[in-house]
Structure 1
């Protein structure tokens, strides 16, 4: 039990001042709240974004007017092109990618598999290694192990510290004449460390290989410039900062120079150059459309389009600026309130290296996170001992952050809770 006096109002006053000066503050009103909302502080926007009012309206309108009104005619009246149309908007607004290189389809895992397999299959003779890091997101690691087993390849592991992330120096030391593909998360899912994507890309290209980035924790939070960085391939989800909703479709990016060269392995009819000819043999569609396999997830793209519209209105520079303010505010409060409590910051302190979330570390934070959920404060948890504070610039207020951290302080002041009051609940189950 702590002997520290109750918190004064300095940080509350600071939070209110930051909210008053926030140029994006008005956009918080565009997010939908349930009438029986019991959430005091939502600190998991890096796992699942809040829904937009516009998304609820758009879904209802789509069902009643597009689906019910147009029925099968909808496919010939525009739905068929949605993977490219929405992909182009996402590329322009979020990725720094010119048109024709991005599609929306499938899940991140499926698109990651398609692109990784395409890359290693196109690699030259003697290129038998896939390079990645030990703290890359689990789905990426598992897919790579499967591909290596399928194709008789070796995964070359770079040992990385979970509190930091992959560096250019580590990549340059690991890649070489045997490298077919190097792949990393741009923002580390545990620590929030921002990798030097252009530097890593140059290192991989210098070795004659192809690079694939997972942008799941970057898209909509960190400014990206895939074309300018000369990135080859990228994937990412849309249910975090882009507010696409649970299970919303992922996106895949294929740089123009790889069109017609890389061939993804799941040859479905919707990726055919002429899907309704339905003849023998497979001929891939030109450009990024060739990454599509099955029927496009039209309903899943409806909320995503609303999210992209809002991101476009706000602008990624303003979003990134607020993200850094939010994470900086967390660090300042944590340094003041949690000194001497065993709480450690497991995220970069340098702004340029910090993504959209801050991870705090203590050995008992799994149980602490469950206790916070019972209070209506919703961060998430990642082993080992990491409490992630996910901050969505479009929907998160500084006051909300303050209240969540104040609840964490109260829980730790009363810790340990009686055994009956502690749970081992599954918290923060998405990426």
Structure 2
């Protein structure tokens, strides 16, 4: 039996299995609570932008026409508390944090800047910031800029590009001169998932703080910030939290750290007496001190419907289905796609990865464009990775199977749309 023939047989067997898995999926009822997908397209790119909940357009219409259109400035009172309200809802539903520890504001990079500076202030006298070389480029830009601005040494540790950061490597890099360790819980490239509690143990043993980027974890991984003793964190809301493009990011600071964590971007929204116009600046004693300016009410309102869905489903169930979907995907890919030159580029164990699966291909950018032409939308992570991330609440096992079928057709050059030219040009 040739490899392609074996792949076809595996897909036939998988079809029966997908039907069984979908039939007993406890999260199946949530599939109908998202906006319909046009023209039979398949979206396995939740790590880039989450699907649109069906309730979001109606809610935004009420905010725009009712609160803004009908009430004008009189309708803005509820907007003032949106950063804290969304923060508290997120803390409870998806972060495992306490009330008063999270706000939604600004973008991830701005929040990372605020908290990196705050961590240095909270650990005065320490001269070193640790980051790893697999962290997202924007995180490394921000951290390097803060280190230079505050005359701190930047210590960069090497991370394996597929299996993630080795804990012994981290342990060797963290000493009593380190103020803060800045890491992503889930690698944006490989999907490798770190052990949060273990990282905390290494850093805290030396008196250092840990600042997490949870952008590829929040809404997909069952996080327990309070239980693991997390210090600080930021996270995007437009990926697995499905809050939509432009929705402000999350900022978390453990409650006992808040009085010592001075944020560098002062504004009226972080003032103790927000509306008093008092000078000089007097920061609010709570997490609200990390706010700066007027919140974007429309974008923040868009976060509510997705939080409703995630709270109702429960993060334990969401994480369980995510592991099952990515496990099913990797199993199918091993038989149907790898014979055509696609190579795994992340952890094989579902327990050690987040909600996306990465593969290497020498022409990944062109391949992702060809897949889009076949109606399958995935991510390209330069230079050579294809990233697939099925959303647990919006993806069936049958969708994963169909995605692998279309992927295989493009790789083999036999896709009906002629995307690959029918020449098998993607094989390596």
Shared fold by TM > 0.5?
A: yes
1:429 maps to which residue?
none
- Given the two structures, how large is their TM-score scaled by the length of structure 2? 0.94
- Alpha-carbon shift at residue 146 of structure 1 (Å): 0.7
Q: How does 1:366-385 map to 2 (within 5 A)?
A: 366-385=365-384
- Answer whether contact 1:94 1:224 (CA < 8 A) is retained: yes
Partner of 1:260, secondary structure, is helix
- Alpha-carbon shift at residue 121 of structure 1 (Å): 2.5
- Alpha-carbon shift at residue 149 of structure 1 (Å): 1.4
2:341 maps to which residue?
342
Partner of 1:23, secondary structure, is coil
Deviations along 1:361-391, one digit per CA (max 9) or x if unpaired, are 1212221111001111001111231110111
1:87 maps to which residue?
87
2:15 maps to which residue?
12
- Answer whether contact 2:412 2:425 (CA < 8 A) is retained: no
Q: How does 1:39-54 map to 2 (within 5 A)?
A: 39-54=40-55
The 1-side partners of 2:339 and 2:34 are apart by 37
The 2-side partners of 1:68 and 1:340 are apart by 58
- Answer whether contact 2:412 2:424 (CA < 8 A) is retained: no
1:298 maps to which residue?
297
- Alpha-carbon shift at residue 53 of structure 1 (Å): 1.2
1:207 maps to which residue?
206
- Which shows bigger deviation, 348-357 or 316-325? 348-357
- Answer whether contact 1:131 1:155 (CA < 8 A) is retained: yes
1:426 maps to which residue?
none
The 2-side partners of 1:237 and 1:99 are apart by 19
Q: How does 1:286-325 map to 2 (within 5 A)?
A: 286-325=285-324
Q: How does 1:356-371 map to 2 (within 5 A)?
A: 356-371=355-370
Deviations along 1:163-201, one digit per CA (max 9) or x if unpaired, are 121233222110112111101000111111110111101
The 2-side partners of 1:231 and 1:339 are apart by 39
- Answer whether contact 1:40 1:403 (CA < 8 A) is retained: no
- Alpha-carbon shift at residue 311 of structure 1 (Å): 0.2
Change (3 A) 1:107 1:342: same
1:113 lines up with 2:113 in the alignment: yes
- Alpha-carbon shift at residue 342 of structure 1 (Å): 2.3
1:122 maps to which residue?
122
The 2-side partners of 1:226 and 1:341 are apart by 41
Return the match for 1:21 from 20, 24, 33.
24
- Given the two structures, how large is their TM-score scaled by the length of structure 1? 0.93
Deviations along 1:81-138, one digit per CA (max 9) or x if unpaired, are 111111011001100001000001111111111001111133222x111101001011
Deviations along 1:202-257, one digit per CA (max 9) or x if unpaired, are 11111111110000011010011101111100000111111100121101000011
2:386 maps to which residue?
387
- Answer whether contact 1:369 1:379 (CA < 8 A) is retained: yes
- Alpha-carbon shift at residue 263 of structure 1 (Å): 0.6
The 1-side partners of 2:49 and 2:194 are apart by 22
- Answer whether contact 1:371 1:422 (CA < 8 A) is retained: no
- Answer whether contact 1:39 1:377 (CA < 8 A) is retained: no
1:32 maps to which residue?
35
2:74 maps to which residue?
73
- Answer whether contact 2:68 2:76 (CA < 8 A) is retained: no
The 2-side partners of 1:152 and 1:342 are apart by 47
- Alpha-carbon shift at residue 279 of structure 1 (Å): 2.3
The 2-side partners of 1:286 and 1:71 are apart by 31
- Answer whether contact 2:117 2:146 (CA < 8 A) is retained: yes
Partner of 1:147, secondary structure, is helix
Aligned alpha-carbon RMSD (Å): 2.0
Change (3 A) 1:92 1:3: closer
Partner of 2:81, secondary structure, is helix
Q: How does 1:137-156 map to 2 (within 5 A)?
A: 137-156=136-155
1:168 lines up with 2:171 in the alignment: no
- Answer whether contact 1:193 1:355 (CA < 8 A) is retained: yes
- Answer whether contact 1:167 1:196 (CA < 8 A) is retained: no
- Alpha-carbon shift at residue 339 of structure 1 (Å): 4.0
1:331 maps to which residue?
330
- Alpha-carbon shift at residue 421 of structure 1 (Å): 12
Q: Which runs of 5 or more structure 2 residues have no equivalent in the other structure?
A: none
The 1-side partners of 2:134 and 2:338 are apart by 28
- Alpha-carbon shift at residue 4 of structure 1 (Å): 2.5
- Answer whether contact 1:346 1:361 (CA < 8 A) is retained: yes
The 2-side partners of 1:245 and 1:188 are apart by 21
Change (3 A) 1:79 1:339: closer
The 1-side partners of 2:97 and 2:210 are apart by 16
